[in-house]
Amino acid sequence: MKVTIIPINNQSEVDSSYSAISDSLVGESLLFACCTHMPEKPAVIYSYNIRDNSVARFSDTNLILPDSSLHGKIHTPIVTDKYGDRFCATHFAYPYGLPQPINYPGSRLIKVSKYGDAVDLGLIKPGNGVIYTAIDNKRSVIYLLTIPDASLFRYNISDNELIRVGDIPSTTCVSRNFAIDHDGRVFGCYEGGGLFVYDPEKEKLSLHDNFLPTSSTKQWNSSSRGGVNRLDRSLWRGIYFCQYRKKFFGILSSESRIFTLDPLSLSITLGEDLSSNNTSPDRKSNIFPTLSLAQSKDYMFYASSIGLFDYNRTEMASGFSQFIMINKDTLKAESIGEIRGGARRVYGIMTATTINDSEYVAIGAVERLTNEPYNPFNVIDGQPFILGVIRISI
């Protein structure tokens, strides 16, 4: 594999990136967003040009939105409609990453037209951020999931109409990912191993408790990581629908295990535990799955972290990421090796997509070279790191 790493500009202004990358190219560019946990600072949207491997600052939330100072995150994928317009939603950031009460006005939906104009489409739900979005281009709708209320919304693009379709059972955490099948049904999960399915034809939200395999493994940082961003080992950590095989492919939080989900029979098939592909002898190796899953036609791609990686919460990270390919037909996983671009290695990835069905593009924490500027918030085991675009040609 060939790895190219491009550092992001303005390192001191951003500290992380979660899920917020374009699901497809528009022209030769991908948009992605980085977050900040500094109080009253905006999330930043960047544009990555795949031809010349350049990264440019596209816009900030404070240039697009009212009450912008509290929109420190864009935590959703940047979804693209059939006309080349892109959409994402904002989210609140706990000051300095510490869970606490926040007077948040509410997430807003942003549209970036194919011509590059950014427009505020309005408020989603007062007091709530949006944790994830997915688009159904056949029906021209976008689904959005809020926190802390765990409300599922449908946004009709052509009518500019927002409809709440139901609430997902949740006390402190919700699905980090959901996906849409070929019939337009939305599949997501909720704590306790539950599965939710929204059928737009029947306008029905179905709940299936205790559906996913769970683990007795203690949740990482459970004593100190509270608030609505708490993670739950009974959820899945990533999921995609494969239109060629008519089923979902994902990774479980319980043990970093790949799985498939048949949307018709609601049956699960388990594959390999991806942590077994790490070469590190560290017993903590990859017990905390990342948000690095992406897909091509025949493969799933995943960047496994050695230790427990989540940007500033990386006091237990103990090594560098490896790139794993999973065959969709056999569910066999193969480690291609440590992700290294020139003199830089990668600590971890939480944002990824694929382009041209053969290249993996991600945003993650990479090694800092001497004298490079960095964010004081971003330190692993006493060593500062920086954020970068990671492009892997397979």
Q: What is the pLDDT of residue 137?
A: 98
- 105: Cα separation from own chain's centroid: 23
Taking only Cα atoms into account, the Rg of the chain, rounded to an integer number of angstroms, comes to 19
pLDDT at residue 310 in the model = 80
Q: Where are the domains of the chain?
A: 2-393
pLDDT of residue 150: 92
236 or 191, which is more confident: 236
Would you place residue 298 in the very low, low, confident or very high pLDDT band (cuts 50, 70, 90)?
very high
Q: How confident is the model at residue 232 (pLDDT cuts 50, 70, 90)?
A: low
The confidence score (pLDDT) of residue 8 equals 95
Whether the per-residue pLDDT at 229 is higher than 70: the answer is no
Q: Comparing 109 with 318, which gets the higher pLDDT?
A: 109
Specify the pLDDT at position 277. Answer: 63
CATH number of 2-393: 2.130.10.10
Average pLDDT, the chain: 89
Residue 375, pLDDT > 60, answer yes
- pLDDT, residue 169, reads 87
Give the model confidence (pLDDT) of 239-296 as tens digits.
999 999 999 999 988 778 899 999 999 999 999 888 766 555 454 555 568 899 999 9
| pLDDT of the residue at 222 | 37
- Beta-carbon neighbour count of residue 183 at 10 Å? 13
The amino acid occupying position 249 is F
Would you tell me how many other CB atoms lie within 10 Å of the CB of residue 211?
19
pLDDT per position as a tens digit, 128-164: 999 999 999 999 999 999 998 999 999 999 999 999 9
Q: What is the pLDDT confidence band of residue 221, given thresholds at 50, 70 and 90?
A: very low
Q: What is the model's pLDDT at position 230?
A: 57
Question: Given this model, what pLDDT does residue 283 score?
Answer: 44
Q: What percent of the chain has pLDDT over 70?
A: 88
Tens digits of per-residue pLDDT, 82-127? 999 999 999 998 888 887 888 899 999 999 999 999 999 999 999 9
Q: Indicate the burial class of 127 (C-beta count within 10 angstroms; 0-12, 13-18, 19 or more).
A: middle
Q: For position 69, what pLDDT does the model report?
A: 64
Q: What percent of the chain lies above the pLDDT cut of 90?
A: 68
Buried b (16+ CB within 10 A) or exposed e, 74-109: bbbbbbbbeeebbbbbbbbbbeebeeeeeebbbbbb
Write the pLDDT tens digit of every residue in 163-214: 999 999 876 666 789 999 999 999 999 888 899 999 999 999 999 999 998 7
pTM of the model: 0.94
pLDDT grade, residue 315 (50/70/90)?
A: low
